[in-house]
């Protein structure tokens, strides 16, 4: 089947109406500049035999920095080629005016978990994420939607939105996809040269090789990790925290009774990197 390219709401609706009664829809929302992390989501949807829909929309609402929005890597033609090669059923590439028509002023906001981790440094970022994802759920009405664990806080908040608002969408998560050096794949990685990509990969290597069991509390562990990261060239650390996977509460004591993750955001050559790693 040839990939359908929909660039308007009418085209999207017309093509989805043809399949809704006979097939389950699997949605992969993206901002384009596709990489193997996105392909893992696509492959998961295809494996489940869903009518697979990929959206490409650089959402201005989730950027708190105008320069970050302007320099976000774009490669629409290449993305479409990748999508066709991977047998995606439909790709939706809307303009800003279609998603946010003139006078748009209705936004979603989560109040308990959006102002921690990335949220404390990116004002209204998650409001922008939840608003656009909710709109895509309404427009596409998927049976399932697929998200990567690299953006763990985003994944957590989308799951919470679905639960809080009784949305009939099953959220399926896929483990973080990494390159051969362990660096979590991200569209922004394309803004780094080989030298800085190598430095960035030290984040995962340090986490992976750290003996977490040797530490009784998170404060001493974070001090150790920061020292290792700075020595490796990761000096502009925005935050590094250890939180509980189930509710994102801060962890104080390290124990095996609760599943914990270490979360990090750092800048390298002006490029913001995020990652998380399961401690136990």
Tell me the catalytic residues: 38
- Distance between CA atoms of residues 25 and 171, nearest Å: 12
Measured CA angle at 26 (ends 101, 5), to 5 deg? 55
Instruction: List strand residue ranges (DSSP E) for the chain, in order.
Output: 4-6, 25-30, 51-56, 90-92, 144-148, 170-174, 236-244, 260-268, 271-278
- Distance between CA atoms of residues 102 and 211, nearest Å: 54
135-145 burial, b for 16+ CB within 10 Å, e for fewer?
bbbebbebbbb
CB 242 within 8 A of CB 222: yes
Instruction: List strand residue ranges (DSSP E) for 11-77, in order.
Output: 25-30, 51-56
Backbone angles phi, psi at 137, to 5 degrees: -60, -40
Around Cβ 177, how many Cβ atoms within 10 Å? 18
Comparing C-alpha atoms, which of 96, 76, 101, 98 is closest to residue 5? 76
Give the helix ranges, DSSP H, for 48-189: 66-70, 76-85, 96-99, 125-140, 152-164
- Distance between CA atoms of residues 91 and 52, nearest Å: 9
- Distance between CA atoms of residues 108 and 151, nearest Å: 19
């Amino acid at each position: 089947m040839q990939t359908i390219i929909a660039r308007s709401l009418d085209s999207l609706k017309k093509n989805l109406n043809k399949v809704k009664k006979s097939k389950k829809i699997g949605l992969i929302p993206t901002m384009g500049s596709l990489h193997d992390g996105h392909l893992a989501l696509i492959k998961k949807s295809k494996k489940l035999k869903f009518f697979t829909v990929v959206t490409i929309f650089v959402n201005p609402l989730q950027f708190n920095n105008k320069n970050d929005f302007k320099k976000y890597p774009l490669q629409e033609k290449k993305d479409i080629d990748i999508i066709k090669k991977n047998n995606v059923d439909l790709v939706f590439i809307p303009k800003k005016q279609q998603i946010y028509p003139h006078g748009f002023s209705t936004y979603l906001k989560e109040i308990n978990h959006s102002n921690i981790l990335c949220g404390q440094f990116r004002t209204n970022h998650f409001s922008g994420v939840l608003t656009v994802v909710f709109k895509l759920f309404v427009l596409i009405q998927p049976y399932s939607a697929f998200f990567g664990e690299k953006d763990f806080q985003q994944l957590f908040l989308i799951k919470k939105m679905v639960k809080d608002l009784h949305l009939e969408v099953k959220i399926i998560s896929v483990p973080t996809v990494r390159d051969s050096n362990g660096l979590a794949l991200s569209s922004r990685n394309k803004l780094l040269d080989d030298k800085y990509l190598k430095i960035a990969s030290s984040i995962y290597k340090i986490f992976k090789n750290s003996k977490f069991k040797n530490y009784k509390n998170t404060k001493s562990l974070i001090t150790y990790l920061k020292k290792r990261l700075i020595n490796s060239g990761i000096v502009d650390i925005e935050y590094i925290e250890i939180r509980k996977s189930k509710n994102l509460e801060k962890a104080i004591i390290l124990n095996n009774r609760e599943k914990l993750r270490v979360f990090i955001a750092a800048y390298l050559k002006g490029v913001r990197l995020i990652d998380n790693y399961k401690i136990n």
